[in-house]
Structure 1
Amino acid sequence: MNYDYILFDLDGTLTDPKLGITKSFAYALEHFDIHIENLDSLCKYIGPPIVDSFMDFGFSKEKALEAIDKYREYFKDYGIYENEVYKGVVQLLATLRSRNKKIMLATSKPEVFAKQILEHFELLEYFDFVGGSELNGDRSEKSEVIQYVLKEGKVTDLTKAVMIGDRKYDIFGAKEVGIDSIGVLNGYGDQEELIAAGADAIVASVWELVNREEFL
């Protein structure tokens, strides 16, 4: 299937945010006297809505929101830039642009931070629309973000749209909205997770998509 509207996840798909996100989580948890010795143990929280991640520690919704405030204390000044673009991303976006594809971002990360990251790495120019959650927690579920992006991008033919991401949340969100999905293995979800979620296709990395014209 060749798609005209390409929706990308951000964390674990276009960039590797591991250091910034795990350090921000550890900083927030320290506030509650939870000490993390191994930052790698926090990698599973790259992808899901952040409030759900803190509630996984047994926090109430109210306490999770307090933790998010602490997380952002570190993230907005430091963690946001402790990040790197995956190999092949710039070439992929440039290739899609040359093919007149409409490129959009659909992330559960707050939209304001997503735009800052894309601008910092000089990727913003490739995107027709950037969609994310609100700082107050609204629109944090992936399906909500995808619906928002499709609406703002004026996408009416859902058969021409595809969601590309590294976690089951991207795949589930795409299914709920009614578009196809492609899982990438360069991020934080493995093949078993993406198959179980029902991805329509799985590739080793976003780099591989450059040469997969049957998709893009």
Structure 2
Amino acid sequence: MGDLRLVIFDVDGTLVDSQGTIVLAMNAGLKHAGLAPLSREKILSIVGLSLPEAAELLVPGGTPQQHADLAEGYRRAYRLEREAAGPTKSSPLYPGALETLTTLNGQPETLLGVATGKSKRGLDILIASYGLEKHFVTLQAADFHPSKPSPSMVLQALDEAGVDAAQAVMIGDTTYDIEMGCAAGVKTIGVAWGYHAVEDLLASGAHKIATEFAQIPSLIDELLGA
């Protein structure tokens, strides 16, 4: 097992560009809670966090009921938008994502995993819609873990894959992904096409930055060895 390596991907902002659906659903949630809408920038700043933590950051000083109503409204609006548009249209893969996942999945020594703030149900629907069920050996979702940047999801992924932290890398677009990976003792790659600024990813400890998906396999080789 020592020769295996694990590559863990975040989802929203890393594999798929779901910002339109997220912003729409979050503002629907705010409306449901009787609160004013927020800017796209503000909403995208919390992508990656679990929903309760996101609600508290978006509405500091809000009541527990307001936070609960926001979360309920968000879940309902997100589900309705996904059903109306279809999973692949509401959360389209970034250019090169499928090709890179296919390349990595074809490497006998490379195992793939996911660590996301999405619910397990939402994650399963998305993966099935792209036919990626056999690509990933471990799927970690918000239902079963503390929110990022807790290392819990990465540590569980390592355990399920049977891979040492020294042979693993976390790939994500937010500071929460990078901080989570660093806290778990794995290497980290920040992606430039997501929802947090590259300078913030570097400040959070990202070991490498990818500006396009095609760079990821070679960056993994640099960090973990070819």
| Residue number among 69, 72, 77 corresponding to 1:69 in the alignment | 72
Give the alignment's Cα RMSD to 1 decimal.
2.2
- The answer to whether the aligner puts 1:180 opposite 2:181 as a matched pair is no
The whole-number CA distance in structure 2 between the counterparts of 1:200 and 1:187 is 17
- The answer to whether the aligner puts 1:98 opposite 2:106 as a matched pair is yes
Question: Contact (CA 8 Å) 2:6, 2:167: kept in 1 or not?
Answer: yes
Q: Which runs of 5+ in 1 are unaligned?
A: none
- Partner deviation per Cα, 1:67-102 (whole Å, 9 max, x = no partner): 211111111232473111001111111111111210
Q: 2:18 aligns to what?
A: 17
Q: 1:148 aligns to what?
A: 156
The whole-number CA distance in structure 2 between the counterparts of 1:39 and 1:189 is 12
| Residue number among 108, 122, 126 corresponding to 2:117 in the alignment | 108
Q: CA deviation at 1:36?
A: 2.4
Q: CA deviation at 1:42?
A: 2.2
Q: CA deviation at 1:138?
A: 4.5
Larger relative strand fraction: 1
Q: CA deviation at 1:211?
A: 4.6
Q: So what's the TM-score if we normalise by structure 1?
A: 0.88
Q: Which runs of 5+ in 2 are unaligned?
A: none
Partner secondary structure for residue 164 of structure 1:
strand
Question: Contact (CA 8 Å) 1:13, 1:206: kept in 2 or not?
Answer: no
Distance change in 2, residues 1:3/1:26 (3 Å): farther
Q: So what's the TM-score if we normalise by structure 2?
A: 0.84
Q: CA deviation at 1:168?
A: 0.7
Larger relative helix fraction: 2
Distance change in 2, residues 1:210/1:154 (3 Å): closer
- Give the share of equivalent positions with the same residue, in percent: 24
Q: 1:125 aligns to what?
A: 134
Partner secondary structure for residue 105 of structure 1:
strand
Q: 2:30 aligns to what?
A: 29
